[in-house]
Chains A and B, each alone.
Chain A
Amino acid sequence: MDADPPDLDCFRLVDEPYYTPVGNEIALFEAAYRAQVPLMLKGPTGCGKTRFVEHMAWRLQRPLITIACHEDMTAADLVGRYLLDAQGTVWRDGPLTQAVRGGAICYLDEIVEARQDTTVVIHPLTDERRVLPLDKRNEVVAAPSGFFLVISYNPGYQSAVKDLKESTKQRFAAIDFTYAAAAREADIVAREAGIDAGLAEKLVRIAAASRNLGHRALEEGASTRTLIRAGKLIARGIGAAEACDMAIVAPLTDDADTRGALRSVVAACL
């Protein structure tokens, strides 16, 4: 049974997701999309990788299927499996197969979380073949030109067990993400959290200071996301110091000295 291209309209983004470019990444993404070069987005947590993909899907008018990878994910979870119903067996496409058939952008978020032997199923999709073999169904799905594979990858994890296979890594072109420059980050925070520019600037300053501690006392500094969270709490009427404590300081560290230091930083910046 040959399935028609599935209807992926529910995966289309109607409203423009807000995104301010940090550098040339929009042009890079578009070029990679046209050239059908799979893309890896590298960067610290909460710097806007996911938002960027959403924005690009909207911009390119493609449906976007996002898969949050996790350790227990199997290849069948990605490509699909046979299910039983009253009449007999039914094949159900997995999200990756859906994306391939429907020519969607498939975004594998935090791909290092998935086990390495799971992620090899994407290999045939990432070279010239651009196909997805479904061995159980004895079918090879060829990807239409609209299909595009994007993975995100946070190199900050200092764990040997969580890394991509070299053979997986080298199939992707990469865009390096960093946090936006201070003024732009403040714009983003102000807009997303609905707070005034002055306060957003202060929050950004806190984040910049905390990033100075990255790889020392902290694994990573405060991300743009935490700033937006703090800003949202402030917009709800929580005191600025309290909101920062709740959204930035407390989630970032359990170490008493580091916490004390971050609180001092918050107090200094506000």
Chain B
Amino acid sequence: MTAALRRDPDPDASAALERLLSRRPALHAGFLAAQAQARRHLGAAGLPHWAALVGALYHANAGPAVLEALWGIERRILPGAGLDTEATLWQATRTLCRHAGSRTTLAILGPLAARLSYGGDGRELAARLAALAGLAERAPDALAPLAAVLAQVMQELPPEPMAQWLADGLALHATDRRRRAAYFGLEDPLARRRLADLAGAVRFAPHEERLKLVTQALFGLAPEVRVIADPALIRPRLAGGLLLMPQGFPDLRAEDAAAFFEAAVTHAACHGAFTRARFTVGRMKPVQIALVSLLEDARVERLAARAYPGLGRLWRRFHTAEAASARTVASLFARLARALADPDFRDEDGWIAKARALFERAFTEDAGRQGFVPEIARILGHDLGQLRIPFDTKAYRVEPAYRDDGLGLFDWDETDPDNDDVLELVVEAARLRQEEADAAPPDSAPAPAGGARMKGAVPQEESTIAGLYPEWDHRLRTELADHVTVRLHAPAAVGASALKARLDAAGSIAARLDALMRRARLDRPTRLRRRLDGEEIDLEAAQEAMLARRLGELPDPRIHALKRRQGRDVALMLLLDVSQSTADPVGRDGESVLSTAALAVGLLGAALDGVGDPFAALAFASNGREDVRITELKRFAERWEAALPRLAGLRPAYSTRLGAAIRHGAAGLAAQATHRRVLVVVTDGEPSDIDVEDEAYLAEDARRAVADARGQGLDVFCVALGAVADRAAAAIFGRRNSFPITRVEELPARLAALYFQLTVR
């Protein structure tokens, strides 16, 4: 949407328009006022431009209400707005009217106008309107549902992320109107998640990786953080193993964000490390619950600060409550929090002094005893009651803001049924537990669709038997000869354009691989000794030649040495696990493990194509020992391009009979005549199959297969996706030879790098 002004508008446009509108009494008065205002702020030179814009919208049959609405907006923005903004405003509205109709346009303009304050420059509004006009051109049907939630969307997203969110919706549901309406009406959970990502992640995302490492280093655990777009969530909240992070903190300055999130995440990790059990609610009053949470916060922070005094300093930064005489819950609680965190803080209040004394005594006695917290909370809560200081559950906010809201510290199932006071809290806690369940990977959703399709496809599939392989029975300690049938299944023919597009999109990774590849091709120089000619003398050989001469023998003339970068001599066989579990989604984009792995293989394949290493890839799955299903993605002799459609056509199904796949892969690789032969298995789980009950059987067989392959002189490695696979792989391949990738999203960036790490000296 470009807002271009006509270079030379009719100088009398304004007057002409005025004449035209004088016949529309409903509009005329409004027009005159708007015209006067435009003249005042845009000047006589700007007026014809303005009139042309208004005229264009009028002639587009926008209807008086739309015009009135825009004039209303102008009243607020015109003092600051320039002609460009004006042009965008009017032209975008015209586009909206043309595509979505004036009623919808009005519904859109309403929430937009409501966000305006007097004296702004209107740029934000113009940018939003332009984005909306862009949407109207492509999917006018989306605007009506969007208008209903536009206020919320704008509340959460600045113009640019909002445009991104709109574009995402279009891209996701380019054709399906019904699903598009659900997205833009925020009924689609994905739309909400995307909104939350764009809103909250703007602030938290840059710190996420670092903070994960910080808590891992300090406490040996990394709470998973999820940014939640929920206006009711004002403080971070612990929910099971998750830390729910509000999508924004209104008072947080950008320069404080790093420290703030560090404080929040380390505080949550303290609970993970030191809050051993959840507190029982029983008959506790809301004020006591808040106190328990406050005291427990102080307890775990103290415990952590014993080992890490720097954390104590970090947290104290955010305690800004000053000593005061106010006796409200908000003030008292904030001061108490500070008093417990900061020994130098002076506060004369009797209640705080008592709380401090009680806490200090209990903490010195046995800091690890979580039970003293509710005991003190009961006393202090009772005192507050005696002082007739009311506690308002709704208005209460945990201070400082980095601390979690405490709801996650309680076991709400144990609430006394007569305890009506905490009903709201119970509801709130339960609601977020629902959120927690929502946030868990929805592995049930995509699987049935894919599974059903596979079931339909099986009978028509053609397969040829590729070989019979033995299997190792660890109980009998013997190989069962010809126990497993490996079948070659023809790859599904699918257009590779989507995969190609994703490969192109991964440009930054490809660029890094490119650099790696150049280095790989130029291997480190090696010194070649005993040459007839060369750039330096081989001292060893020269010595011997001189000796031989003195002894009267015929010297060996090969006394030179030269440095050469020798060519690489490596062949790779890649085994890709395509069992059903690879249908699980990873990351935010909803890509599955398999499609991420396919992308990774695609990148690696392109890189290898550049280096010239012989390379083959197989996909494997299994459906019992009679049907270990191998799909050849690329044979050694084939060109790389041939593999792309097959890679794109991979569908997850069946189980993982790893040993048979390794044996088949090793057999193919062993025939290669290169100096090094590398077999890499990419898998996301432990070996399993439908006809095997003994858990250890397939793992032991795979171990055996790996040992056999090594015996043939192959280097066997495993890239393990996720923690389960990592544990399994370490046992099968050995710790040194398995590479865990905990975040599957990183696989594309890591796989090729790993390969070069393994093969470049």
Q: Which A positions have Cβ atoms within 8 angstroms of B?
A: 72, 74, 76, 81-84, 88-89, 155, 158-161, 163, 205, 209-210, 212-213, 215-217, 257-258, 260-262, 264-270
Contacts and interface: CB of A to CB of B under 8 A. Distances in A.
Contact of A82 (B220, B547, B736): B547
Given A267-B314, A270-B310, A160 B715 contact: yes
Nearest to B212: A261
Contacts of B211: 261, 264
Contact of A76 (B216, B540, B740): B540
B758 A268 contact: no
Contacts of A264: 210-211, 214, 262
Contact of B310 (A89, A258, A269): A269
B308 A161 contact: no
Looking at chain A's contact residues, the main secondary structure is mixed
Nearest to A213: B217
Interface string B294-313: 00000000000001111101
A170 B313 CA distance: 52
Looking at chain B's contact residues, the main secondary structure is helix
A216 B216 contact: yes
B504 interface: no
A257 B210 contact: yes
A87 to B, nearest CB: 10
A159 B210 contact: no
Contacts of B740: 215
A216 B723 CA distance: 12
Interface of B: 209-214, 216-218, 220, 262, 266, 307-311, 313-314, 527, 540, 543-544, 546-547, 550, 678, 715, 717, 736-737, 739-740, 742, 757-758, 761
Nearest to A270: B310
A216 B314 CA distance: 25
Given A264-B210, A268-B266, A268-B309, 19 more contacts: A74-B540, A82-B544, A82-B547, A83-B543, A84-B546, A84-B547, A160-B737, A161-B761, A212-B216, A213-B216, A213-B217, A217-B216, A258-B210, A261-B210, A261-B217, A262-B213, A265-B214, A269-B309, A269-B310
Contacts of A159: 757-758
B528 to A, nearest CB: 12
Contacts of A210: 217
B311 A268 contact: yes
Contact of A262 (B209, B217, B550): B217
A158 B758 CA distance: 8
Contacts of A163: 736
Interface centre among B214, B550, B715 (most CB of A within 10 A): B214
Given A159-B757, A161-B761, A216-B742, A81 B543 contact: yes
Contacts of B217: 209-210, 212-213, 261-262, 265
Nearest to A261: B213
Which 10 pairs of residues, A with B, have the shortest CB-CB distance?
A: A261-B213, A268-B310, A209-B217, A268-B308, A257-B209, A260-B210, A267-B310, A257-B210, A268-B311, A261-B214
A69 B213 CA distance: 34
B213 A205 contact: no
A264 B315 CA distance: 13
A72 B540 CA distance: 13
A155 B736 contact: yes
A64 to B, nearest CB: 27
A209 to B, nearest CB: 4
B146 to A, nearest CB: 36
